[in-house]
A and B are shown apart, each in its own frame.
Chain A
Amino acid sequence: MLRFLAGRLLQSAFILLGVTIITFGLLFLIPADPVRMIAGRSATPETVESIRRQLGLDQPIPVQYARYLGNLVQGDMGRSYIQKARVSELIASRLPATLQLMAAAIFLQLLIGLPAGIFASTRRNRPLDKTVMLLSFVGISAPQFVVGLLLIYVFAYKLELFPLGGYGTIWHVVLPALTLGVTIAGWYSRMSRSSMIDVLRQDYIRTARAKGVPEYRVVLVHALRNAILPIIAMIGIDIGLYAQGIVVVEAVFGWPGIGQLAWLAIQRLDIPIIMGVTLVAAVGIVLGNLLADIATSLIDPRVRHS
């Protein structure tokens, strides 16, 4: 187990290094000049060059990258070009809100997606199965900003059950988490359905049924334990799916998370913030996958011995 873990950690470190190199490279391929965005429209060419020098943006890209990495290793993510504040502080102030939203959304999508998928798998190809799968498809396809605005209009504005966006209490988190949850639950119900169907066909399930084990125990204890493995792996990957959804949902609900920070930074080409947010998101994805791997290996010993 320790060797398995050490191998995975080493692999993760390389992935993160790769992410910084690729993001850094891509940012400099964009045909736009971050210094122009700082200097504003009235700046003279001299002002622009002076700012470029001070930020070290006149250096060759490998030198700039080496300097960035050097600072990063010492825990310094630099300062925002536009806001001048420390990137680490900006991210730290917003990360809790995003994590809270993600946790609530994962909880909701499992709460909706898993039972729906399991239920559908036991009624394969019957009308109920088809209804659940159709709804899942609608969930997957629905644009999150439309779902978000719709939920706000109905549940917050018309019915006045929840606050109109914002952040703070448990009530604030319900609608944004539901928006993310509903749209992603569709994946889970489809995934858990097909995974369950695979398992329900296997011999040991037939044996269990033959022994006279009640059907609910066959499904929820014998089958689910094996069917859950791909689902756990998917939660790990999911965090990557959130990276896109969270920008939209945070914007619709006025949720003060990391997505909003990234959105503004991208518009203004605020490279230190874009780098910082990408890195944090990458850490999240890598960590998610790592945890999923560990969880899978704990449930299924075959994984850690292969």
Chain B
Amino acid sequence: MVRLFTVATILAAFALAGATAQAQPKQGGSMVVTYKDDISTFDPAIGYDWQNWSMIKSLFDGLMDYKPGTTELIPDLAESYTISPDGLTYNFKLRKDVVFHNGRGLTSADIKYSIERSVNPETQSPGQGFFWQIAGYEAMASGGAKELSGITTPDDYTVIINLSQPDATFLHIVAINFAFAVPREEIDKYGLDFGRNPVGTGAYKMTEWLLGQRVVFERNVDYFRKGSPYLDKITFEVGQDPSVSLLRLKRGEVDVLGDPIPSANFLQEKNDPANADLIVEGGLLHTGYITLNTTEPPFDNKLVRQAINMAINKERVIKIVNGRASIANQPLPPAMPSYDPNYKGYAYDPAKAKQLLAEAGYPNGFETELYTMNTDPNPRIAQSFQQDLKAIGITAEIKSLAQATVIDAGGQGTAPMLWSGGMAWIADYPDPSNFYGPILGCGGAVPGGWNWAKYCNEEIDALAAKADGMASTDQVEARLELWRQIYNKIMDDAPWVPVMNEVRFAMHSARIGGEDTLFADPIHIPVHYEYVYDKDVQ
């Protein structure tokens, strides 16, 4: 019996060793990634695009990061951290082995400088507002103070951040790109051109940038996580038409498509058995929705909004996008904590919708306008909505316009109905509160704000503030439950018609290896650049 046990243990140990060896690929090799649009900047305080968001994550680091392939927070530049019982003081101990690409060691002053730089109005960072909870934010954001009084650095490897009120999302905030560490001397040297000459602490350093053509990342041999990243070199080719990129991938010139597989080729590629291992399906923290302007008739009437929710045939929309989405019935996408799998939502029921309209005093429907972005497939989706509305007696005129114009109409509150496709909310960080404030909260319901439904429910705003104040570790579950209730209450008011959650299909060449979760990473899109590897060098 004992003997048998020993053998089993040894076998298990071998199996474990084998698994570990497999989990640690050899370094070396390279990869080519293509994108349709150019890269605008690598400045972490500025960059906020589909392309550069994940690239910046490989060039720079923040106090916190996410476990690859998941939405689970882990310390990064911080070695450890403590949170005071009142949730107001965060004490981060920094790693001592971190050096910038220019050779200088990272200290606590760099963390303070970098966050302050994003808050400084002169930087014009789109991320400024994320740091609202740090003590002294108002004074600095308004241009008065030159630093954040809430961040102190008692020694070179300790950063203490004091908040003006508890915020349960704060660890996500120090993991966001806008909080990434940048070296002051390089910013002083390059000024506004730092975005073209990035110097960070990240796994890769940028070694070449031919404007409009390609960017080359090479492995940072001094990276503090030894043995990582795996690839020696990543070449990003920009300005590449997605259809041509697909042909190049088939010929072996390209390894990863940065953009989605082109719509025209999608079904053919997905159904091709040869691609079974090459196309990975992953969720996006995304919801596509129709906003209903709650401040203007007829959508100021809750019954009308609920009727619209029942009138929309979401099934047809999924067909329009070739099945690259799933039906949504609530604001949060399924991959987001607090998503409620038991919530039923409003079922598709045109008869009931018509009845509700009559109850609301519109038995013969009404005329309205539906705004949409003018790039495919959005006008086609809008036409599908138009048909659905017609069926319950509503005549909707489609306003198909350029992105900036639609965003403006939504912000100014001149769009009675707006389809969010093409500019919908993709989460900045994986926390339910990120889907509330700017797009459903009172704070975003101001002229120019992104709350296009102009929905402002003081009671829910108070609940949201309460939820985000629940910052201690034993409140995590209770907080997520409260958020679940908040979104259910919102759906009762029906300021939106949640329509679909986009599903991302990432395609890569056969020579690039890595767990499927790395190709469907919810944070690093399209793939986790630091953890995929080159099979040719294994």
Contact = CB atoms under 8 A, between A and B. Distances in A.
B240 A254 contact: yes
Contacts of A164: 244, 247-248, 251, 253
A-side interface size class: 35 or more
Contacts of B212: 93-94, 97, 256-257, 260-261
Given A32-B404, A36-B448, A84 B241 contact: no
Interface in A85-144: 85, 90, 93-94, 97
A306 interface: no
A252 B40 contact: no
Contact of B244 (A31, A94, A253, A267): A253
Given A36-B407, A83-B41, A149-B243, A42 B251 contact: no
B86 interface: no
Contacts of B211: 90, 93-94, 256
A48 interface: yes
A4 to B, nearest CB: 39
A44 interface: yes
A216 B195 CA distance: 62
Contact of B405 (A30, A41, A45): A30
A222 interface: no
A85 B247 contact: no
A256 B212 CA distance: 5
Contact of A167 (B142, B213, B425, B438): B213
A82 B40 contact: yes
Interface string A161-188: 0001111000000000000000000000
Interface in B420-456: 425, 428, 437-439, 443, 446-450
Interface residues of B, number: 57
B38 A54 contact: no
Interface in B225-251: 237, 239-241, 243-244, 247-248, 251
Nearest to B195: A84
A47 B428 contact: no
Contacts of A75: none
A290 interface: no
B251 A85 contact: no
A165 B438 contact: no
A42 B239 contact: no
Interface of B: 36-38, 40-41, 43, 46, 48, 121-122, 124, 126-130, 132, 141-143, 192-193, 195-196, 210-213, 237, 239-241, 243-244, 247-248, 251, 253, 402-405, 407-409, 411, 425, 428, 437-439, 443, 446-450
27 contacts: A31-B408, A33-B448, A36-B404, A36-B407, A36-B448, A41-B450, A42-B130, A42-B438, A43-B126, A44-B132, A47-B128, A50-B142, A51-B121, A54-B124, A82-B41, A84-B192, A94-B212, A153-B247, A165-B240, A165-B248, A253-B241, A253-B244, A254-B239, A255-B239, A256-B210, A256-B211, A268-B404
